[in-house]
């Protein structure tokens, strides 16, 4: 997935999470969620893997700060399954990439 598509997907997931968990409406984000999309963009811009990187959840580096990683995991756990109905293609790509990486790691060891 290219960088801009990944950032758009993360922002969409954060909005979905914020609406469902914190009750915001429309494009608005609560203060707890407002920093997440920009933080994800900064992490992605600084990623040493560039455009060849795996999804952050599949990455061996884990460059997120621990507290931000915890927030992002909560977003992914909540929004991921809900994205399957509204945005199935990115979800299916993520599942396929996860399975490919698991197979590669199993065969490499």
pLDDT in tens, the chain (109 residues): 577 877 888 899 999 999 999 999 988 999 989 999 998 888 888 877 666 655 565 566 667 788 888 898 899 899 988 988 888 887 888 788 778 878 887 776 5
CB atoms within 10 A of CB 80: 17
Determine the pLDDT at residue 31. 92
CB atoms within 10 A of CB 43: 19
DSSP per-residue codes, 29-60: --HHHHTHHHHHHHHHHT-TTGGGPPPGGG-S
Counting every residue written for the chain, the total comes to 109
Determine the pLDDT at residue 102. 80
Determine the pLDDT at residue 24. 94
**For tokens 């203060």, what's the residue?**
31
Q: Which two tokens stand for residue 78?
A: 């909540």
Distance (Å, rounded) from C-alpha 101 to C-alpha 109? Answer: 12
Distance (Å, rounded) from C-alpha 42 to C-alpha 14? Answer: 15
Determine the pLDDT at residue 3. 75
pTM of the model: 0.75
Distance (Å, rounded) from C-alpha 37 to C-alpha 33? Answer: 8
Determine the pLDDT at residue 74. 93
């Amino acid at each position: 997935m290219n960088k801009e598509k990944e950032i758009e997907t993360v922002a969409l997931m954060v909005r979905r999470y914020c609406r469902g968990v914190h009750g915001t409406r429309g494009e608005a984000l609560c203060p707890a969620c407002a920093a997440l999309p920009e933080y994800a963009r900064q992490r992605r811009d600084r990623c040493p893997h560039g455009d060849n990187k795996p999804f952050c959840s599949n990455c061996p580096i884990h460059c997120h700060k621990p507290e931000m990683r915890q927030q992002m995991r909560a977003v992914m756990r909540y929004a991921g399954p809900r994205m399957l109905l509204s945005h199935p293609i990115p979800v299916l790509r993520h599942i396929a990439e996860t399975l490919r990486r698991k197979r590669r790691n199993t065969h490499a060891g």
